[in-house]
């Protein structure tokens, strides 16, 4: 999470100096809070965003299926901000009125990573991996993450479910609080009883 916050902070500074990518922070925030693919984010239209129902609906496959993802509190605030800035006739969420949807973030993305001290091998698509991993580490079950990611097969979700070593260390000592003392008492009592040699 620390790296994500650092990246967003750098994006905010960059977009103040870089008129080519004025929506950089909002684009990355959308990726972190929805897990959507870059093509879906950059091609996002206002008619796909329902702020009242708090849903984003995007095409998922070529056969006409659609995928809906709830809008988080943080993303809702960001989208409302963009909507207030929207001028009449704007079709794309991340483009000015009369402009085409943004298709290339490479230069701005690489610069943001460099200034945030993030490994240059980190890809935009890895934000989708980050979304899934953060949900799993927060205790969200795999089936729910599968639905959020729009995966038909849960084996696809498992590819994104790698847990950080620190998270594994954090959870190894977790036990139900109300049962811990009772369990320890029972274990202690068990060790004190003589073994049955019959």
Nearest Cα residue to 131 out of 175, 162, 108: 162
Q: Output the six-digit token pair for 95.
A: 């483009």
Nearest Cα residue to 87 out of 26, 31, 46, 29: 46
Q: Which DSSP symbol is given to 92?
A: B
Q: Give the contacts of 128 (CB within 8 A, at least 6 positions apart).
A: 31, 35, 36, 37, 149, 160
Query: Which position has the token pair 């036990």?
Result: 175
> Which active-site residues does the annotation give?
37, 62, 125, 128, 151, 160
Q: Give the contacts of 117 (CB within 8 A, at least 6 positions apart).
A: 6
Q: Output the six-digit token pair for 71.
A: 């809008």
Write the DSSP string, 161-190: -PPPHHHHHHHTT---HHHHHHHHHHHHHH
């Amino acid at each position: 999470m620390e790296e994500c916050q650092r990246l967003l902070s750098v994006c905010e500074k960059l977009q103040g100096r870089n008129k080519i990518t004025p929506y950089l922070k909002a684009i990355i925030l959308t990726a972190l809070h929805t897990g959507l693919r870059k093509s879906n984010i950059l091609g996002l239209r206002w008619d796909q965003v329902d702020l009242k129902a708090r849903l984003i609906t995007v095409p998922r496959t070529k056969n006409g299926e659609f995928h809906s993802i709830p809008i988080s509190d943080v993303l809702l605030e960001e989208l409302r901000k963009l909507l207030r800035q929207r001028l009449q006739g704007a079709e794309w969420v991340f483009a000015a009125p009369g402009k085409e949807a943004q298709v290339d973030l490479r230069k701005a993305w690489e610069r943001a990573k460099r200034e945030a001290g993030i490994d240059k091998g980190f890809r935009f698509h890895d934000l989708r991996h980050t979304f899934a991993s953060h949900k799993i580490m927060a205790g969200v079950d795999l089936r729910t993450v599968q639905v959020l990611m729009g995966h038909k097969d849960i084996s696809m979700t498992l590819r994104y479910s790698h847990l950080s070593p620190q998270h594994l260390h954090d959870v190894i000592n977790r036990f139900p609080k109300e049962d811990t003392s009772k369990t320890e008492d029972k274990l202690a009592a068990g060790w004190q009883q003589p073994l049955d040699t019959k």
